[in-house]
Structure formats: C-alpha cells, structure tokens
Amino acid sequence: MNIGIIGLGSIGQMLVKGFSKSGVASPAQLFVYNRTREKSEQFQADWPFTICASLQDVSEACELIFICTKPLDLYPVLQELAPQLRPTQHIVSVAAGISLEDLTSVSATAITKVIPTVTSQILHGVSLYACNQYVSSEQREQLLRLLQALGKAEEVEESVIETATILSSSGPGLIAGMMELFAQAAHRKSPELSVETTRRLLVETLLGTAMLLSEEDLHFEQLIEQVATKGGITMEGLNVMAEYLPPCFDQLFLMTQAKHDSLKLKTKVQFNEN
Ligand SMILES: NC(=O)C1=CN([C@@H]2O[C@H](COP(=O)(O)OP(=O)(O)OC[C@H]3O[C@@H](n4cnc5c(N)ncnc54)[C@H](O)[C@@H]3O)[C@@H](O)[C@H]2O)C=CC1
Ligand SMILES: O=C(O)[C@@H]1CCC=N1
C-alpha cells in the first residue's frame, strides 16, 4: 500500500525514517508533499521516496495519507483534499488539538487522529490514536500495523488524548528539559564537572533507567526501592522532589491544557467559518 505524507517537518521526517527503518514500508511506497520542495529533496537523498508536486498527486497515489502540517495549516490541506477523496482512502491527522468531529465535518470519510512521538524515529515510543466512525476494521488494522512498527500504539478516548499527549508526545521534550535543569544544577554545585559531563552522565542514566524499568517490568516505586537505601542519600532527594514537584507538574498540565484549548479555539474558527 502506498502511504502519503503531507508536511515534512519533525513528524513527517519521523514517519519516513520510522516506516523505512522498521521495514513496514519501503521508501518506494512513500509519497511526500511538502510546502517547500527543497526540504523534500534534501531529505530524499537518504530516503528515496517519491516527491509529489501537489496534494492531488498524493491523493491519486495513496490509500493512506498522513497530514503532518502544523495545526493551523491543516484545514486548507484537508479542504483541498476532501472533494477528491475516494471512499477507500484513509486520512490521518497528527495535529494536536483538532478534534475528530471538526476533521469529519470537512470530509465524512475515514479519518484517524494520531498523536505520534519523535522517538518513533528509533522505533520506540507510543503513538496515541482515535478513529472516526467511518474507519473500517481493515483500515484500522492497516494503520495499527504501521503504528506498531514505530513502537507501541495505544487507542485512547479523545476526552483524555490531550493529557496523554503530554506524557507520550511532549514527553521526550519535557524529559530533555528536566534533564538539562538537572545537569545545570549539578554543574552549579560542582563547577569542576563540566555541563557536558553532567549531561553525558544523565543520558546514560536515563537509558539505563528506561531499559531496567522496561526489561524487568518494574513499577517506578519498585525501582526507587532498589536505589534508595533506607536512611541513605537518595531518599533525601526524593523527599525534596515530593515537596516541590507535584505543584510544578500540576501547573505544567494546567498550562499545556490552556494551550491545547486556545489552539482548539483557533482551529475551530477555521473549521466553522468555512
Ligand atoms: N513535533 C512533535 O513531536 C509532534 C507534533 N505533532 C503534530 O504534528 C504536526 C507537525 O508538527 P511538526 O512536525 O513538529 O511541525 P514542523 O513545523 O516541523 O513541520 C510542518 C511541515 O509542514 C509543512 N507544510 C506547511 N503547510 C503545508 C502545506 N500546505 N502542504 C504541505 N506541507 C506543508 C512545512 O513546510 C513543514 O515542513 C503538528 O500538527 C503537531 O501538532 C504531534 C505530536 C508530536
Ligand atoms: O508541542 C507541540 O505542539 C507538539 C504536540 C505534542 C508534541 N509536540
């Protein structure tokens, strides 16, 4: 099956790499359209997909089409595609903050909302997904096979997709942000340890931690028990985090939800005005 990718930014590129590296689809099966063609040409050197000259070219060639533009650039793309869609085609929107209801209002055809993650370029991470009522079981299976090649796939209700997005999709950026603050604090305490060194120590620690949790199927609490010797040092750090981090994470969810909501308002205007 040919797969269309519209928008070759972080997520479009992740899909090209992930599908190709996993072998679930070869570059020959990928048809890419990006607003600026040069970007596609540069990327094509490593991943020999087909560059399309228009949305129509993608639509003619592909049964499954991922729209990977930024949320505010999605409406015009879907609006142009809608009249030419065949009943067998399946559209995937990866835009955070655009509801299936709004998407389906433009085209009463098979549409799935997928919230991917950049970590899927190395075939790890979770893709969240929710399908509309027009997606057939065969289309769902086909998509699931692709998403599972990128890591794990988890079907979620739209009512919780925005909270889950912060964990699985914003997560890599947020974790990197936390690690940078951790690295900087270590350097402030011991300036003779360069920030490069503190970062390097943390990356390896992050990798080992994730692998241990996953391979031994440990809960966070079980790992904490292994590390934090009773009456020892780690417990002091855990106590500080227990005091200061819950309000920080509550605020993080508050602010990211507010951003989701304002994005939804802006995109809803586009969908309702037309
Ligand atoms: N970056 C991430 O980790 C995640 C992003 N998303 C969603 O993925 C979407 C894309 O995000 P990014 O890849 O980060 O953005 P990006 O800005 O890196 O990429 C967007 C791409 O779309 C292209 N584009 C814009 N209008 C176009 C059009 N009319 N036709 C063809 N191409 C067009 C741009 O040239 C650009 O290459 C967003 O809707 C975002 O909400 C979802 C989950 C994770
Ligand atoms: O930051 C963003 O808007 C996108 C959606 C989730 C992850 N990245």
Transcribe 187-230 into DSSP letters.
Answer: HHH-TTS-HHHHHHHHHHHHHHHHHHHHHTT--HHHHHHHHS-T
Averaged over 216-231, what is the pLDDT? 97
Q: Which tens digits make up the pLDDT trace of 57-73?
A: 999 999 999 999 999 99
Mean pLDDT of the chain: 97
| 14 Cβ closer than 6 Å to some ligand 2 atom | no
Task: Give the Cα separation of 228 and 139 in Å (integer).
Answer: 48
Nearest ligand to the C-alpha atom of residue 42: 1
Q: Do the strands 126-131 and 110-115 form a parallel or antiparallel pair, or are they unpaired?
A: antiparallel
pLDDT above 70: residue 130: yes
- Rounded to 10 deg, the angle between the 234-273 and 220-227 helix axes is 150
ipTM above 0.90, yes or no: yes
| Structure confidence at residue 273 as a pLDDT band (50, 70, 90) | confident
The helices-and-strands tally (H runs, E runs) of the chain is 11, 8
Residue with tokens 């433009």: 106
| Homologous superfamily of the 3-157 domain (CATH) | NAD(P)-binding Rossmann-like Domain (3.40.50.720)
CA of 123 to the centre of ligand 2 (A): 19
Taking the domains of the chain in order of start, what are their residue ranges?
3-157, 171-263
Share above pLDDT 70 across residues of the chain, in percent, rounded to a whole number: 100
Greatest Cα pair distance, the chain, in angstroms, is 68
Looking at the CA of 128, which ligand is closest?
A: 1
Shortest-distance ligand to the CA of residue 262: 2
pLDDT value, residue 84: 93
For the domain 171-263, what is the CATH superfamily, name and number?
ProC C-terminal domain-like (1.10.3730.10)
Across 224-236, average pLDDT: 96
pLDDT band at 274 (very low <50, low <70, confident <90, very high): low
- Is the minimum distance from the CB of 7 to ligand 1 under 6 angstroms? yes
Q: What are phi and psi of 253, to 5 degrees?
A: -70, -35
Nearest CA to ligand 2 atom 3: 96
Q: Is 104 in the pocket of ligand 2 (CB under 6 A)?
A: no
